Chain A
Amino acid sequence: MSTAPIAPAKTNSIGLQVLDYRGSKTTLCAGCGHNVITERILEAFYDMGIQPERVMKMSGIGCSSKTPAYFMSRSFSFNSVHGRMPSVATGALLANKTMHSIGISGDGDTASIGIGQFVHLMRRNLPMIYIVEDNGVYGLTKGQFSATADIGSKLKTGVINDLPPIDICALAIQMGATFVGRSFSGDKKQLSAMLKAAIAHRGTVLLDVISPCVTFNDHEGSTKSYKYMQDHEESVSEIGFVPQFQNIDVDYDPNTTVDVELHDGSHMRLRKIHQNYDPTSRQRALNLLLSDKDTGEVLTGVFYIDTQQTDFTTLLNMVDEPLATLSSDRVRPSPQILETLMQEHR
């Protein structure tokens, strides 16, 4: 028997273990990019010390939309209908604006059936994290193209996609999202930093995470395959994230980094790789994404961030407490008010 003292379990700033952020066992294919994203998400919430009960996990329909079951079982989850998670998430945040909200969607759920609700969510700058687990293909129905599939890409059945893909990031920036980035499920360092910054941001965060489908879309011809991403991924910036409860690291070269202060006082530092890239310019972000289209490279990083824009629940000027639990006397006007209204109709 060992006499060494048992090391206390590692905990985060609110005293919870990683175990407290676990979900059920995944039922997705082995090697699916989505499972790796799931790991990054729960780590990010753990690292940021967010109480799981303060989180709402929202999703639509599809492989990606199943993943909220695989992380943070102590959080409240709503797996809704195909392409309509944005409206459900909106309603939930109107009812309780004090909650964190994370929505997990896929490229079909977002860019095909759900694009109507998607753009309006972005436009409202609803304070939530919206992750698109993007593989360019419908997995659950066995491999049909989605609207982010590459033009010219070929299905196993031989069908060739002859329409151009929708750039979810460019669309989100144009529609009003205030934190827009792209990453790759296999890029642990970048995705983790991005997710933690996303949790600190107040406004709509759109993260397009390329997540190869090992079953239906992981072949040479697809830009959403592991092979392609490993060969072609190009970062727009190297991201460091400093939560507000730690001392801010000042060891960086001011000539090559941009430090962005987020809503909770934490900082996100982007190390510029592209000369003069400024993530606070919407126009520059759009130019970057458009000019990148023909390079054959997949640009990753945080393209755009705006910490000044008012988010939707703030805009509505609601009382500080959740609407959901207001007491009766605050939501049912008095008999005198009814009498006044009756008098006006006499």
Chain B
Amino acid sequence: MSSSTIAPESQIATPSSNHHTITNDLSIHIATVNGSGSQSANTVLLRSIFSMGVPVSGKNLFPSNIAGLPTWYTIRVSKYGWVARKTDVDLLIAMNPDTVADDIRSLQPGASLILDEALKITDRRPDLTYYTVPFDQLVIATGAEAKLRKLIKNMVYVGVAAQLLSIDLPSIEAVVRQQFAKKPKAAALNWSAVQIGFDFAASNLSKHDPHTIAPMNATAGKIIIDGNAASAMGAMFAGVTVVSWYPITPSSSVVEQLIGYLKRHRIEPDGKATFAVVQAEDELAAIGMVLGAGWAGARAMTASSGPGISLMAEFAGLGYYAEIPGVIFDIQRTGPSTGLPTRTSQADLSFVAGLSHGDTKHVILLPGTVKECFEFGIQAFDLAEQLQTPIFVLSDLDLGMNNWMSEPFDYPTAPITRGKVLNAQQLEELGGFARYKDVDGDAIPYRTLPGTDHPAAAYFTRGSGHNERAQYTERPDDYQNNMLRLARKFDTAKTLVPAPIHEGTGSASIGIIAFGSSHWAIIESRDQLHRESHIETDYLRIRAYPFTPELDAFVAAHDRIFVVEQNRDGQLLNLLKVDLDPAQIIKLHSIRHFNGLPIDARTVTRAIASHAAPSPQGAHI
């Protein structure tokens, strides 16, 4: 796991020769207008720092809008490898007239900013360092035609920032040329804009802030990728054959990127596809197609987010009750309702766990890293067919749409697992089968696929009451026995889903439980607690629902447990309470973050530090 390879801050000596210099530890905040093309410039900046061997992460805080509204991009540079969101901004690049006043106001003393001269900010805060740049004039100097100037302006700030922070020019050039590999003219124009910005800064700005970036060797072999691309790759290597989807932010890029991968790597020499992708008319149809395909034997998936998941509720229940495999990626955004469509959260957990009416329980995988988006993207398909049930993969906007460093992904070593499917020969030997009979004691029955050439192969799939032979029934004992078997099947799932990951010595009295993208704030917070407050913690990262026995052991072994999650209602906490020994529940304390932005380490540290101090017996947050 990549987190384990990160040396805690406390163990790294700051490599500064001058105590006024801060090397490879800053947060850059770029304020622009969405639709202005700043994304390529920000990516160039991010990748250039990455190619210098310096750990870096990028987060896009964008509006639910096509063009004209404020957008911010945050680049965090950390020699320690911390990649969670950092609330404090060290360098602001202020390009948006609508937000500049607020952007400056929110800076902490000591921060610096690159300011567009055209914004005409005359009031100056004495506690900030200002670098004023006449972007419009510099853009004209690039010789770019008028319609391209808005775009090129962004590349100029890359040059200015590069000069101020000592970012390698050759690194930038290589990244620009790679990014515009298919458009040499655009590459030349963008590169010249970077140089013009760089030269201006070199001749006109004098450095007054402490931040600098120096080459390291901490990114060798690593990749930078977004979680949705990783999930899409996982699905392709899982052997997905049917994909049905309806566009919704922030999940669209799962399928869009998957389509790209499939077209490149899953077309046979005769030009025919080993897959089918359908953009459905809505999310009801998307999951309907997934279940139809899963029933008929395909490895089928869809990707969606909150509102789409709500629409899928009825079919999710059918999938559970009729026992049909399928994979649903839920890239969580902020709800309820339309909510904040372009902001992140972990607030679908309890909804998805029981998605649909009646006693329904779903198996959920909870990736916390892009590597797990890939791995769980594969495993979900195996589990769906092994367990004959819909499998939900709960990612989120932060994990799915932002750029993360990662170790490269490992090629799956386990073969594709298709579960208990009987063929014609087996049916002949058995003399028939009962679709919903627990033959093996694991509560997972056998199924057949449509087209199996045997008179005893067919069965009747229905969402209405059915007995072991898949016949319609309203008998109380048939209904109850079937529901009890489904509950036992959920227990079987515990033996197959990814186990939690334990970090720490195991000897701390304080435990932290979290899941998903909160991981990155947790590992940084544990280091802060250790360094600043001498609070030692153990950490259990849950990676699936149903919970596995490691959870009970972890809770039993700690005096106080902080459950950290990104929603208002403590959804993980509530699910834990259902499963845990009632005597243990008193140990659980909730830390919740739910403002639409990714959780940061400081929020976790503050909450734990303020409550970890000795307190009256049984105090409960």
A interface residue numbers (CB < 8 A to B): 20, 51-54, 56, 58, 68-69, 73-81, 84, 86-96, 98-99, 116-117, 120, 313, 316-320, 322-326, 328, 330-333, 335, 337-338, 341-342, 345-346
Contacts and interface: CB of A to CB of B under 8 A. Distances in A.
Closest CB pairs A-B (n = 9): A91-B292, A87-B288, A324-B297, A331-B239, A95-B298, A91-B289, A95-B296, A91-B293, A88-B292
Contact of A331 (B292, B408, B409, B416): B416
8 contacts: A74-B455, A77-B459, A117-B284, A316-B273, A320-B272, A328-B239, A331-B240, A341-B233
Contacts of A338: 233, 237, 409, 411
B244 A73 contact: no
B288 A323 contact: no
A51 B454 CA distance: 10
Given A53-B458, A117-B285, A91 B265 contact: no
A98 B296 CA distance: 11
B278 A99 contact: no
A319 B273 contact: yes
Interface in B548-584: none
Nearest to B292: A91
A95 B223 contact: no
Contact of A91 (B223, B274, B290, B318): B290
Most B C-beta atoms less than 10 A away, residue of A20, A91, A320 = A91
Contact of A90 (B292, B459, B464): B292
Given A78-B292, A80-B288, A84-B285, A73 B415 contact: no
Contacts of A96: 296-298, 449-451
Contacts of B294: 91, 95
Interface of B: 221-225, 229, 233, 236-242, 244, 261, 265-266, 268, 271-276, 278, 280-282, 284-300, 314-315, 318, 408-409, 411-412, 415-416, 448-455, 457-464, 472
Given A53-B455, A78-B292, A84 B284 contact: yes
Contacts of B237: 332-333, 338
B411 to A, nearest CB: 4
Most B C-beta atoms less than 10 A away, residue of A69, A80, A88, A335 = A88
B272 A342 contact: no
Contacts of A94: 242, 244, 276, 278, 289, 292-293, 298
B282 A116 contact: yes
Contacts of B242: 91, 94-95, 323
Contacts of A69: 460, 472
B460 A77 contact: yes
Nearest to B463: A81
A56 to B, nearest CB: 5
Contact of A332 (B244, B416, B472): B416
A20 B458 CA distance: 13
A307 B284 CA distance: 30
B460 A79 contact: yes
A345 B281 contact: no
A330 B274 contact: yes
Contacts of A328: 239, 415-416
B451 A91 contact: no
A79 B274 contact: no
Contacts of B229: 345
A98 B223 CA distance: 42
A345 B223 contact: yes
Nearest to A55: B450
A331 B267 CA distance: 10
B117 to A, nearest CB: 37
B293 A92 contact: yes
Contact of A325 (B233, B297, B453): B297
B609 to A, nearest CB: 37
A128 to B, nearest CB: 11
A185 B277 CA distance: 37
B284 A331 contact: no
Contacts of B233: 338, 341
Contacts of A92: 292-293, 295-296, 450
A335 to B, nearest CB: 4
Contact of A78 (B272, B289, B295, B299): B295
Nearest to B226: A345
A77 B274 contact: no
A84 B312 CA distance: 11
B192 to A, nearest CB: 26
Contacts of B236: 333
B462 A331 contact: no
A68 B460 CA distance: 9
A73 B458 contact: yes
Contacts of A117: 281, 284-285, 288
Nearest to A332: B239
A84 B288 contact: yes
A323 B290 CA distance: 13
Contacts of A95: 241-242, 292-298, 300
Contacts of B452: 53
A326 B416 CA distance: 12
Contact of A323 (B274, B457, B463): B274
A322 B318 contact: no
B450 A99 contact: yes
